[in-house]
Amino acid sequence: MTKGSDVPGHEVHTYAGFELCYREDYEDSEWVAYTITREKLVSVIKRTDDFRADTSITTGSATPADYKASGYDRGHLAPAADMQWSSETMHESFLMSNMTPQAPQLNRGMWKELEENVRKWAQNFGEVTVVTGPVLEKPSAEYSSIGSNKVAVPEFFYKALLSKSNNGDTIMAAFIMPNQKCEGEIWDYAVSIDEIEERTGIDFFSALDDSIENETEKNINLSEWKNCLN
């Protein structure tokens, strides 16, 4: 990613299982990035549910109280189910910097299905790099908010995925879902990486060779991703 701590109002932090960029204006993280591997698909600890403010955010993060009676779930960006491979990663996944207000119909519906598929893809391909977050494409004042900290309620969420197919080709998949109940299949919400970059202003997977990055990010080719779910 090329949008981070060197940009005013962006605060990047690294944890044991993921990295994130917190936006104080929104009280949300605009991206959370991590790599899930086949070896990390083990469960050494159960879900802890120890939601708490993130004291490493210098301006102060959102708090659990912000979500009380809001009608929104404390939606994980790095899912707790992806962080069961150590006690430290599980506990850190419940920091409020890793949460965004998600409609229950999304968080417990198609978004959950997409997260489950990410783990299936990690099992099949051996490794998947995930970047996920809310689409913050408007000034913070233009979003509705919850709680005393005025946590912005995103209208859309994205997930960008990078892996290698079983024949060694670099493959990408990307999705944007509205913050509401989603009908149809997850594939109905597939987009190109380029579309997410245009809407968020974030340059994903910039460490890739430019020729691979530019060609793969502009296309929507889901055949490898679909095949291993059949």
pLDDT recorded at residue 167: 87
Q: Which CATH number fits domain 10-227: 3.90.1150.10, 3.40.570.10, 3.40.50.2300, 3.40.50.1220?
A: 3.40.570.10
| HEC profile of 129-155 | EEEEEECCCCCHHHCCEECCCCEECCC
Q: Which of 113-122, 172-181, 210-219 has the lowest mean pLDDT?
A: 210-219
**Average pLDDT, integer, range 19-48:** 96
pLDDT at 210 over 90: no
Structure tokens at 39: 């070896």
Q: Residue 203, SS3?
A: coil
Of the candidates 90, 23, 88, the residue with the CA atom closest to the CA atom of residue 57 = 23
Q: Which of 10, 13, 76, 91 is catalytic?
A: 76
Rounded to whole angstroms, the Cα distance separating 120 from 168 reads 18
pLDDT at 132 over 60: yes
Domain residue limits, the chain: 10-227
Terminal Cα distance for the chain, rounded: 32
pLDDT recorded at residue 98: 98
**Average pLDDT, integer, range 54-63:** 96
pLDDT recorded at residue 228: 85
Please check if 167 is assigned to a binding site: no
Of the candidates 81, 157, 151, the residue with the CA atom closest to the CA atom of residue 115 = 81
Q: How many helices (H) and strands (E) does the chain have?
A: 7, 11
pTM: 0.93
**Average pLDDT, integer, range 63-87:** 98
10 is catalytic: no
Going by the DSSP 8-state scheme, the letter that residue 56 receives in this structure is T
Rounded to whole angstroms, the Cα distance separating 200 from 115 reads 21
Percentage of the chain lying above the pLDDT 70 cut: 92
- Between vectors from CA 14 to CA 98 and to CA 6, what angle results, nearest 5°? 100
- At 218, the pLDDT band (50, 70, 90 cuts) reads low
